[in-house]
Amino acid sequence: MILFLLTVFKIDLSRAAIQGPCSDCHTMHNSQDSGAMTFDESAAPNPQLTRATCYGCHAMDIASPTFALSTDVIPQVNHTGARDLAAGNFRHITSGDQTRGHNISDLTGADTVLIYPPGILYDVHTAVVNTNTLTCAGTTGCHGYRYPDPAQFQDGVSGAHHKNVDGKLDLATEPGNSYRFLMGVKGYESGDWEENPTVADHNEYFGLTAPIQMTGCGAPTGCHSSPAGIKPPDGTMSQFCATCHGNFHTLGFSGFGSYDGVGQAATSPFIRHPTDLALPSDGEYAAYTEYSLQAPVARTSGVPDGSSSTVTPGTDAVMCLSCHRAHASPYPDMLRWDYTTIIAGQGTGNTDGCFVCHSSKN
């Protein structure tokens, strides 16, 4: 059952750490006036003495992508509004079809077609990660520490809201100083959750000029390291995605014995669309010089400390979120645009979608 928590958290947007009455979020004994404090009389107490789960705060199913009053903001991952936040909106799955995003079993229902994440490292992870067990946090989720009990997935982000920072995130040593609580990911968070992004004000992502070669499970070129459990080996968003979709976002896997995989190539011809790879500085790519909200790039010269409206081919890189939303989108495969309308060679001057980078193909 999804729980709905309609209280206001005091958030200092310069640091984004929760402030205000502890009782907004916590209950000492899950009891008040002979009633349960979890907003569900039949529910057992939640871990960390919280009054609701992640869904209760962030999936209220309201008409706005944020729950706000004055300067207080709670981002919504499931809502009925027309605008979406940077990661998208799980409502596109529940009101559309299951191909439009990640299927979080407790929120959207499990995927009835795909059992395992596309591009997963053969069978080595499938016993743990599949669409029947995917959660928002914890062992089988994306946010926070990825080793707690999956039955109590909010354990993965325990304490993170009190330590959360926004702006430039270049440490990524714990969930609170990682980009959007994605453990180990570096980047720059814009102040309004990217509710109203512009060319001049938007999230920024950290990337590489060339993808890495995975050579084992542990550090420094593997996903498993203490105390995070699982995190990207290099701090980039694409390598974070590679922890589940490894064959799509690395040069391949070696050192895993029978589980070795074939990833993307570092140079053309590509067998999979490259990520963590700098845009060429010549040809059709040289025309992409003004930042596009339809096809964001990652910055390879260091972790950004602010938004930039400029794109520099040869330095800035393509990444997984150049084409996809992280949660869900209005389009199949959680793409940022309708792939069926991207038609090459029509001479229409269309600059949408793929044509942002592939400027001569329109």
Instruction: Categorize the per-residue pLDDT at 284 as very low, low, confident or very high, splitting at 50, 70 and 90.
Output: very high
Instruction: Categorize the per-residue pLDDT at 122 as very low, low, confident or very high, splitting at 50, 70 and 90.
Output: low
DSSP state of 11: E
User: Closest by alpha carbon to 220, among 209, 207, 235?
Assistant: 235
Residue 259 has pLDDT above 60, yes or no: no
Kindly list the distances between the CA atom of residue 203 and the CA atoms of 65, 167, 188, 231, 298, in Å, as whole numbers in the listed order: 16, 9, 6, 20, 10
Instruction: Categorize the per-residue pLDDT at 26 as very low, low, confident or very high, splitting at 50, 70 and 90.
Output: confident
Q: Does residue 279 contact residue 273 with C-beta atoms inside 8 Å?
A: no
Taking residues 254-283, report their average pLDDT: 74
Residue 226 has pLDDT above 60, yes or no: yes
Q: What is the pLDDT of residues 138-175, one digit of tens each?
A: 888 999 998 877 667 778 898 999 999 889 999 999 99
User: Closest by alpha carbon to 77, among 11, 144, 135?
Assistant: 135
Predicted pLDDT of residue 9: 39
Taking residues 235-258, report their average pLDDT: 76
Instruction: Categorize the per-residue pLDDT at 11 as very low, low, confident or very high, splitting at 50, 70 and 90.
Output: very low
Residue 15 has pLDDT above 50, yes or no: no
List of residues 6+ apart from 234 with CB closer than 8 A:
208, 212
Structure tokens at 355: 């044509």
Taking residues 3-19, report their average pLDDT: 49
List of residues 6+ apart from 128 with CB closer than 8 A:
139, 140
| Range with lowest mean pLDDT among 27-31, 68-72, 127-131, 152-156 | 68-72
CA distance 80 to 174: 32
| Range with lowest mean pLDDT among 31-35, 77-81, 357-361 | 31-35
User: Closest by alpha carbon to 93, among 321, 337, 331?
Assistant: 331
| Range with lowest mean pLDDT among 65-74, 135-144, 172-181, 323-332 | 65-74
Residue 146 carries which side chain, given as an amino acid letter?
A: R
Taking residues 219-231, report their average pLDDT: 79
- In sequence order, the β-bridge partners of residue 328 are 88, 101
| Range with lowest mean pLDDT among 38-52, 146-160, 169-183, 283-297 | 38-52
Structure tokens at 78: 């499931």
Look at 351 and 46; give whichever has higher pLDDT. Answer: 351
Report the run of H or E that residue 57 belongs to, with start and end: helix 54-58
Largest CA distance in the chain: 70
Q: What is the pLDDT of residues 67-106, one digit of tens each?
A: 864 456 789 999 999 999 999 999 999 998 999 999 998 8
Report the run of H or E that residue 240 belongs to, with start and end: helix 237-241
Instruction: Categorize the per-residue pLDDT at 264 as very low, low, confident or very high, splitting at 50, 70 and 90.
Output: low
Look at 165 and 315; give whichever has higher pLDDT. Answer: 315
CA distance 103 to 135: 9
Look at 194 and 247; give whichever has higher pLDDT. Answer: 194
